[in-house]
Structure 1
């Protein structure tokens, strides 16, 4: 397949994915973008210098995120009127042809600015994924009665480093987390729920990222908002709530590779060191993935009964029935009490944004 064909196929594939995940707006705009690329229009012009595989780099989301950033900044008013994220209650009914014309005009009038935007990978820091993290920590706490030292690699802005401050509303008056939290995840859980009788206790929060976002700055906040899909209003509300939590409980994210972070960790007596990552492995080259696995193995070898280590990950993996990608929450833990226990436990499956989580009725082994 030629490079141009790969880009066109990626745009069409991402359009379908956006539709599947609940953004008919991006499904329509990226379908138009694929047609425009094939016809040699402004999309082809701004992507002309793109090299490498567009799918792992999610070129399509870089493109729409860059244009969304212009709309949020008040620099694309004709397009912004169709975006609920910008226009709010005054949003115009979505008209695909008219919205695409406005989107295309931005590309045609600001090609250099769009190309500059394509350099930055998407940084959504999806707060809904705390639904997976909270449940995973509760399941772990039921087996290991120790406070948590929470480490997130690929943390972006570190917005998921405050799971103890997020509210899970289970309906009928049930829930976990502060009732007055600015971030409330409403009934995201189904299946056999994690144990709710022990609250989370976080004693340390560490976040690292190769390209961290500083949410103390307006530019950092704008960057995060721009990668949230404009017709998914609930995600915007969650993000704005998470930014309020970040103001109340600052957690700096240091610039560091995931491999270096894990390699540099030491287990701490009296706490369980939990390394958490979500939807980040797809961006790692094969050699970096191998290095990360080796770093985890080395960290696990240093764990002890009074200084255990766990790895909670929420990542995509191929699914055969139906064909596609499944996002699974898995747990690894050290030391191993039972050498015959599985090395990695599948705790739950979930929506990539955390909108729903299905917990699996399997016993949790300490492994």
Structure 2
């Protein structure tokens, strides 16, 4: 029964990959699910996580483990189907047998990777986070934008702690209708907004705040990665889907930027990290996170909420410092599961500013402004 449930989780992930334009992973996960039911090598691979809940992302762990083999040159037949290794993904079904062999031939590698949490901190999500930050800064209505402290929960390798140094564009990349950020940035988020420009409030904020003064970049993660360490950089690359060629390019640019712009990442759970956080006078302290909430146990998240409430209450103006909480997370609005950008400044109401594809791009205005039913 447990094996059957694990196979069902792989099927669920396969459907999600199909919806997110990854026919390669959709096909491989569907075939892997059947292989689990049949007691094949994929059954042995996922056995350590049999009975794990959906948020454990069993399918993404398996895909990341095998992608790492491809990137290491250990699965040359499969590499022919992975664009990240110079191959092409035109025939996903043809990738199945090389995939299955890779799983069967490298049990120790697969087992080790199945035990590690997937690192899904996608660079494109910075589009949402930076948009929320720009709106927040303008909402303060100070004569000049205040210094900003960026604190990220579930930061993985801390790449999005450099989001203010990314370039965001919308419309034709050659002549974008909208752009924000350093024109020479190694990270360019093309296609950021579906209609070629953000909603008016975000566009206005971007025009009014062409640059940010970030004075601190600090994140936490229960299993932090160092993007400058080759083994950790491999993990970051392995969790990027190989039939999404723009994503590895963005990731490479972000790793390049990390070499030049330091950020600190602490090996802490989110609640403990926030418990050690206080405001700073004259400074905007921003806590943000993207697509990490699902990996945090309910009891831990209750503590996170308590610490966020403490910081909101403490923020009474420039004398104490300001506080904002920004999130790009899947939230249920009515009957629809969406990825939405929310912002809350101080003790004010939580606002929905936009919604986007899970990678943070192709964003658009959201027809609701509050998540309250």
Q: Same fold (TM over 0.5)?
A: yes
Q: Provide the residue aligned with 1:9 in structure 2.
A: 8
Output the CA distance in 2 between the equivalents of 1:61 and 1:32. 14
Q: Is the contact between residue 7 and residue 36 of structure 2 (CA under 8 Å) also seen in structure 1? A: yes
How large is the Cα RMSD of the aligned pairs?
1.8
Shift in Å at residue 309 of structure 1? 0.6
Shift in Å at residue 99 of structure 1? 0.8
Q: Deviations over 1:99-158 (max 9, x none)?
A: 100000011112232111100111132100010011101111111132211110110000
Shift in Å at residue 58 of structure 1? 0.2
More displaced stretch, 140-149 vs 286-295: 140-149
Output the CA distance in 1 between the equivalents of 2:104 and 2:114. 15
Q: Provide the residue aligned with 1:178 in structure 2.
A: 182
Q: Provide the residue aligned with 1:153 in structure 2.
A: 153
| Cα separation, partners in 2 of 1:103 and 1:53, compared to 1, 3 Å | same
Output the CA distance in 2 between the equivalents of 1:254 and 1:131. 24
Q: Deviations over 1:286-345 (max 9, x none)?
A: 101111111111122221211111100111122545x4x211111122144xxxxxx311
Output the CA distance in 2 between the equivalents of 1:27 and 1:54. 20
- Equivalent residue runs for 1:1-367 within 5 Å: 2-87=1-86, 91-92=87-88, 94-144=90-140, 145=142, 146-171=146-171, 172-173=175-176, 174-189=178-193, 190=195, 191-193=198-200, 194=202, 195-196=205-206, 197-199=208-210, 200-306=212-318, 307-321=321-335, 323=336, 325-336=337-348, 343-360=349-366
Output the CA distance in 2 between the equivalents of 1:286 and 1:259. 12
| Cα separation, partners in 2 of 1:92 and 1:272, compared to 1, 3 Å | closer
Output the CA distance in 1 between the equivalents of 2:92 and 2:4. 24
Q: Provide the residue aligned with 1:340 in structure 2.
A: none
More displaced stretch, 234-243 vs 343-352: 343-352
Aligned length: 352
SS in structure 2 of the partner of residue 22 of structure 1: coil
Q: Is the contact between residue 263 and residue 296 of structure 1 (CA under 8 Å) also seen in structure 2? A: no
| Cα separation, partners in 2 of 1:93 and 1:124, compared to 1, 3 Å | closer
Structure 1 segments unaligned to the other structure (5+ residues): 337-342
TM norm structure 1: 0.91
SS in structure 2 of the partner of residue 220 of structure 1: helix
Structure 2 segments unaligned to the other structure (5+ residues): none
Output the CA distance in 1 between the equivalents of 2:363 and 2:93. 35
Shift in Å at residue 33 of structure 1? 0.4
Q: Is the contact between residue 154 and residue 210 of structure 1 (CA under 8 Å) also seen in structure 2? A: yes
Output the CA distance in 2 between the equivalents of 1:98 and 1:169. 36
Output the CA distance in 1 between the equivalents of 2:72 and 2:88. 18
| Cα separation, partners in 2 of 1:362 and 1:139, compared to 1, 3 Å | farther
